[in-house]
A and B are shown apart, each in its own frame.
Chain A
Amino acid sequence: MSENILEINNLSKYFGGLAAVSDCSIKVKRGTITGIIGPNGSGKTTLFNLIAGNLKSSGGNVVFDDENITDVPSYELFSKGLLRTFQIAHEFSNLSVLENLMMVPGNQSGEKIMTALFKPSLVAQEEAVVKEKAKEVVEFLNLGHLSNELAGNLSGGQKKLLELGRTMMVDAKLVLLDEVGAGVNRTLLKDLGTAIEKLNKEKGYTFCMIEHDMDFIGRLCDPVIVMAEGSVLFEGSVEEAKKDEKVIESYLGRGSKIKDTN
């Protein structure tokens, strides 16, 4: 078992002539919470899409847990322990909040149609367990009062919480979080941070999170990777990143400083 849970080697993605990700190489150590920052359009989301099998790469490879997963479809990655959330919430709008969570666990026997139809008691047993778990997660996210609401009716921030909640339904190895914090209020954001740290420490999840909120990043992440124009510009601690000339330049143009967003 190598020290890195994720290795990205020279990964590229072109949209027509535009290089959204170009020759990008990143290593993520097991057990870390790695932050990814970078200006808008620097290719962060595209990078996640490539890792998670939502896009086909134009070149390079991705190794996850000592296994080459380049262009492996995303549903297979789920069972290998790689989960992701989406920047724009991808809730199942016509399912209730609880159902959104209950659909997550893999290998439910009720997901096979024959079992679902002809072995109701087995399915009911499993459902009870899954439901219990889903309720825990819902409570944790402070969405308890909305359990039976359709996910489509949630607010933007609540949807983001639900996204995070889905990754908590199963035991993951690596979770890719794409701006989970965006649109979530301050107090809840703190709880979110605590939850992420707790999952990281107690369950050994590795996190890789894209975030624009430097406070949030600063509190949780070590190391942090700065992306610009599709490739890695800087890698190190948050403090170093804030001081780094190149980073500042890429972010705000010459002569500026990264401000802590309060």
Chain B
Amino acid sequence: MRKNLNVIAAYSIMMVLILMVGIFQSWNIALSIFNLCLISAVMTMGANIQWGYAGLINFGIMGYTALGGLAAVLISVDPVQEAWRAGGFDILMSLWLIVVMVLVIRFVLKRFEKSKIRTYSIAAIIISGILLIRFSAEPGIEAIEAVDPAKTGFLGGFGLPIIFSWIVGALFAGGLAFIVGKVALGLRADYLAIATLLISEIVIAIIKHEDWLTRGVKNVIGLKRPAPYEVDLQTTDWFIKLVEKFNSGKLSVIENLADRQAALNQLVIEGSSVFVKLCYSGLFLVVVIILLILTQKALYSPWGRMMRAIRDNEEAANAMGKNVVKQHLLIFILGSAIVGIAGAMLVTQDGLFTPGSYRPMRYTFLIWVMVIVGGSGNNFGAILGGFVVWFLWIEAAPISLFLINFFTAGIPETNALKAHLIESVPYFRFLLMGLGLLFIMRYRPKGILPEKIEIK
């Protein structure tokens, strides 16, 4: 118990902070923060099992997040029949060609010894294959994108409940990680970082520009929800009764019946959005807890022991018969898949998919700050990092605005410098993150909750 005291203390402080936001700002904001904290926690758990368990640098988190988001679109949106009729055949043809190309390459790789000629012929196959595929897909893509471009202009998805996308997102991300890992793992740590960063940029480029699949920068809005809609709630009897009951004290002081009704309506509108957010919180919390249990169990199993051994000394682990490359690939896939889940959760909560919003600062480096600040190698630390850093990321602007006003209280509003600073408030979050990271790395290099080596 005493060992876990700092864990409990850290989490309690975090909860109090969020509650304070609820009390002083609004419960809506507090719950938004809480939900995104939970999603961030899932992302940090993914990054943490790569970095903390295995020492692998993955600067491609953004790409896996976006793939998870794409899964949410492809699973939940109804198929666009017209687009399928217009260009579905061409797309399927091209897909088939890709499969053929991959099979041919595999055949060549298996069949022939490694040689210059083999390398060149594979390059030739890839280049001609890409040209052929582009050629065959072009008319289909154009036809699809021409189908009612303002509303659809893409193939749509499978029309399934969006919650399935949380699993499919994991599969997408894991699949990409498999390919990336095959190519890039085994590179030196800093090269791996660059390579993964580049790959994530490529993924985003594809998502942004392949409109037939993703609608690109036109965004996909109005995704189905796993939670009820506010408007429906506002007209549901049991919900109105619930709100009335909760606020009976507040309402009973109002004498006038009409005023009371108006106040109730207002409360119902507020309550509905809080209720919806609570539904999401519940779902996300379930995911976080399941993942936490699984990752903890894994860490303290013989598998986790092997991973920790590999992290400590790859050469010796190799000599003890552990296939380090294979295990690295596995953990790269697992971690990325978890990030994929988070990506799907994020889009599910937002109800929209905006490829233009995927930026490396927000979706890769911020997550790294979370892992390092929280405590790499420790799942509780990683989750805490997700909470703390997200909270600061959101509250940085109000805090810095407050500070600027405080320190420049004597200066009139018209002062150019003051006005400029107030205008720049959104960028203080970068400063805060950077300084936070630098301080933690210097004075508490193992994070707020350092990895504990538990000996059973």
Contacts and interface: CB of A to CB of B under 8 A. Distances in A.
Task: Indicate yes or no for A touching B, C-beta below 8 A.
Answer: yes
Interface of A: 52-54, 73-75, 78-79, 83-84, 86, 90-96, 99-100, 102-104, 106, 108, 110-113, 116-117, 123, 126-127, 148, 150, 166
Given A90-B315, A103-B309, A166 B303 contact: no
B302 A94 contact: no
B180 to A, nearest CB: 20
24 contacts: A52-B319, A54-B319, A75-B320, A75-B322, A78-B319, A83-B319, A86-B315, A86-B316, A90-B319, A95-B309, A99-B455, A103-B305, A103-B309, A103-B320, A108-B302, A110-B301, A111-B303, A111-B306, A111-B322, A116-B297, A116-B298, A117-B294, A117-B301, A150-B455
Contacts of B302: 102-103, 108, 110-111, 116, 123, 126-127
A92 B321 contact: no
Given A93-B312, A95-B305, A148-B455, A117 B319 contact: no
A94 B321 contact: no
Given A103-B305, A103-B306, A75 B312 contact: no
B334 interface: yes
Nearest to A80: B321
A69 to B, nearest CB: 14
B221 to A, nearest CB: 38
Nearest to B313: A90
* Interface of B: prevailing SS: helix
A106 B321 contact: yes
B318 interface: yes
A73 B318 contact: yes
A83 B321 CA distance: 9
A102 B305 contact: yes
Contacts of B319: 52, 54, 74-75, 78, 83-84, 86, 90
B170 to A, nearest CB: 14
B162 interface: no
A92 B316 contact: yes
Interface string B41-65: 0000000000000000000000000
Interface in B289-303: 294, 297-298, 301-303
A88 B358 CA distance: 47
B308 interface: yes
Contacts, number: 96
A104 B324 CA distance: 14
Contacts of A84: 319
B323 interface: yes
Place the interface of chain B in its size category: 20 to 34
Contacts of B318: 53-54, 73-75
Contacts of A90: 313, 315-316, 319
Contacts of A92: 308-309, 312-313, 316-317
Nearest to A104: B320
Nearest to B301: A116
A175 B26 CA distance: 68
B330 interface: yes
A166 B320 contact: yes
B325 to A, nearest CB: 8
A204 B392 CA distance: 64
Interface string B3-40: 00000000000000000000000000000000000000
Given A90-B313, A113-B334, A78 B305 contact: no
Nearest to B330: A113
B453 interface: yes
A256 to B, nearest CB: 36
Nearest to A106: B321
Contacts of A116: 297-298, 301-304
A52 B319 CA distance: 8
A141 to B, nearest CB: 17
B309 A110 contact: no
Contact of B321 (A54, A78, A112, A127): A78
A114 B312 CA distance: 23
A150 B321 contact: no
Contact of A79 (B294, B321, B453, B455): B321
Nearest to B309: A92
Nearest to A100: B309
B376 to A, nearest CB: 13
Nearest to A78: B321
Contact of A91 (B298, B306, B316): B316
Interface string B370-400: 0000000000000000000000000000000
Contacts of A86: 315-316, 319
Nearest to B311: A94
